[in-house]
Amino acid sequence: MTAQDYATNKLSYAMNCDSSSGKTKTGCLFSQHHIAVINGGKKIELNRDSVFGYRNCKQVDFRFYENDDKEYQILENKSMVIYSAAVRKNSSDGKTFMLVPAYFFSRTLSSEILPLNVNNLKRVFPDNHKFHDSLDVEFHNDNNISTFDAVHKMYKVNYLLGQSLAN
């Protein structure tokens, strides 16, 4: 699907999740640049660069971004889009690694995906000084920047951005 398809909830290739005849593979053994969609026994290969993302059978949406090999889970699409993705974290000895969740954002569904931190938020919203001030008060050194606000039922940074845009 495209960003516009996602925004209007239109899937390009829908499949029956209860059937074994439908599958999506987002990375092949030798190439992370293709997506194979198997629907009704027919295999369709798509260039990952030409696809916005996909929705899995649990109704969770993911976005692809440029040549990045990550699949960004769309957590929230409000004043900005918030994502999570698995990133490598090396062990203290540097010999092994594990995948840990990290948070990212984009201004719109089709704009650049950046790590979710105060500096990037200020850079993407340069003229919104009310938002900058709120970030400085709420998130000292990026602590808890990915906090979900249960009262407002949204991520705190999205709430702060929305409030700064409303006034």
Q: Which helix (H) or strand (E) holds 46?
A: strand 42-47
Question: Strand pairing partners for 102?
Answer: 85
Asked whether residue 136 is domain-assigned, the answer is no
Asked whether residue 43 is domain-assigned, the answer is yes
Number of structural domains found in the chain: 1
Torsion sign (Cα): 140, 142, 148, 152: positive
Write out pLDDT tens, residues 13-51.
777 777 665 555 555 434 567 787 777 778 888 888 888
Asked whether residue 127 is domain-assigned, the answer is no
Asked whether residue 49 is domain-assigned, the answer is yes
Q: What percent of the chain has pLDDT over 70?
A: 90
- On the question of pLDDT at 8 being above 70, the answer is yes
Question: Is the distance from CB of 133 to CB of 122 less than 8 angstroms?
Answer: no
What's the DSSP call for residue 23? E
Neighbouring CB atoms inside 10 A of 106's CB total: 22
Under the banding of pLDDT at 50, 70 and 90, the label for residue 96 is confident
- On the question of pLDDT at 110 being above 50, the answer is yes
**Residue-range definition of the domain harbouring residue 49:** 1-57
